[in-house]
A = this chain, B = another copy of it.
Amino acid sequence: MDRLIAVDWGTTNRRIYVIDEGVVTLTERDALGILAVSPAAYPALIETLRTRHGDHPVLLAGMIGSNRGWRDAGYVEAPCGIPELAGALRAAGDRIWIVPGVSWQANGCGDVMRGEEAQLLGAIAAGLAPARALLCQPGTHCKWAEMNEGQIAHFVTSMPGELFALLRNHSLLSAQLTGDVTEGEAFAEGVEDARSGHLLARLFGIRAAGVLGLRSDADAASYASGLLIGADCAAHAAGRTVHLLADEKLGPLYARAIEQCGGTVVMIDSHAAFAAGANRIWELAR
């Protein structure tokens, strides 16, 4: 039987896919991200997966392949595609492989990803995005990837999600940022203000608006999110078609901001993309 257990093993969560002849037959998600697992515990966790889903090959992607995970699987340099990833898998036990990350460098600058590469290349392998496209993966750290000829040609990581969390948890603005983030008017206002620039001053404007009673603090979190996501989208999405790989929370926010910045959105199922990527990597590697 031609079955694969693929795991998108991230920092705080992991998502397990059982893939049967290229078709996902089962997915599971739990909180056993690398922060919750000591390196010595990985073999037993994988044995548990095999007990549950059968004694099949296991393909691991994501932060499990970092120096904070199980085994450092290194980086493949962009531009690269599925064959380059398949050729650089790190063996980690009996029919267990870890997918490397992808790095990019030019003129003394650089960027890195780990875990996103399987999704990005899988989106194209599954026909969910064309071979030449701009793909966006929102998150704590958001990836903007330029795909060309089916490869990851270049990418940029920004950190709107982490910055939002810092502001919400530790800043002068914390007390104002307790509300829910919704893609309503305050969010749109934040995106608009981000487009006119100077983020550092717009953020303090949240404090000033509170003091002067210009905006309800209930809207402050949505406005702040609009500022940060807006700055991100203004820098990348203007006039572009963006293929968006996002969850249910960030998807609508990024979609609204991209459109407000003059871009066009195509939503992609990120789980289908990951499964297709993992399956294709495995097909080429074995």
Known A-B contacts A162-B171, A166-B171, A169-B170; A110 and B201 likewise in contact (beta carbons under 8 Å): no
- A214-B158 in contact (CB<8A): no
Summarize A's interface: helix, strand, loop or mixed: helix
Known A-B contacts A110-B209, A208-B110; A157 and B105 likewise in contact (beta carbons under 8 Å): no
| A206-251 with Cβ < 8 A to chain B | 207-209, 211-212, 214, 228, 231-232, 235
The 4 closest A-B pairs by CB, nearest first: A158-B200, A158-B201, A198-B235, A157-B204
Which one of B171, B203, B209, B235 lies within 8 Å of A197 (CB-CB)?
Answer: B235
Supply 14 further A-B pairs (C-beta < 8 A) apart from A111-B204, A157-B207, A159-B200: A103-B211, A105-B212, A105-B214, A109-B205, A112-B207, A112-B211, A112-B212, A156-B201, A157-B208, A160-B200, A162-B172, A170-B170, A200-B231, A200-B235
- B232-A200 in contact (CB<8A): yes
Known A-B contacts A197-B235, A235-B198; A112 and B157 likewise in contact (beta carbons under 8 Å): no
Copies in the complex: 2
* A159: chain B residues within 8 A (beta carbon): 172, 200-201, 203-204
Q: Can you pick out 28 interface pairs between chain A and chain B where the beta carbons lie within 8 Å of each other? A: A103-B208, A103-B211, A103-B212, A105-B212, A105-B214, A109-B209, A109-B214, A110-B205, A110-B208, A110-B212, A111-B204, A111-B205, A112-B207, A112-B208, A112-B211, A141-B172, A156-B198, A157-B205, A158-B200, A159-B203, A162-B172, A163-B163, A166-B166, A166-B167, A199-B199, A199-B231, A200-B231, A200-B232
* A93: chain B residues within 8 A (beta carbon): none
Chain A interface size band reads 35 or more
Q: Which residues of A contact B (CB under 8 A)?
A: 103, 105, 108-112, 141, 156-160, 162-163, 166-167, 169-172, 197-201, 203-205, 207-209, 211-212, 214, 228, 231-232, 235
- A208-B111 in contact (CB<8A): yes
* A235: chain B residues within 8 A (beta carbon): 197-198, 200-201
